[in-house]
Amino acid sequence: MNKTPYTDPCTYAMQNDMNRLKEEIASDLANYMLEMMPDLEMCVDFVCDRFGLDCNDELVDFVADCHDEFFGN
């Protein structure tokens, strides 16, 4: 009996799209941080404006992780 949970194709596609979006955000954000040396709030604003996203807790957490990793915090 296979105990691997079934993931429907739409969910799988959405997860892949989300991973690609996160990779693109991280790359663009790293370039922005290299040029501007912004604080976290400016980084969140940049990502929201650049990618047309609404600010939510998950986005702020992701941007904060990228910011901390970039600046070695």
Note the pLDDT tens digit of each residue in 19-41. 999 999 999 999 999 999 999 99
Q: Distances from the Cα of 4 to the Cαs of 1, 7, 18, 46, in angstroms?
A: 9, 9, 22, 39
Mean pLDDT of the chain: 90
Domain ranges of the chain: 40-73
pTM given for the model = 0.82
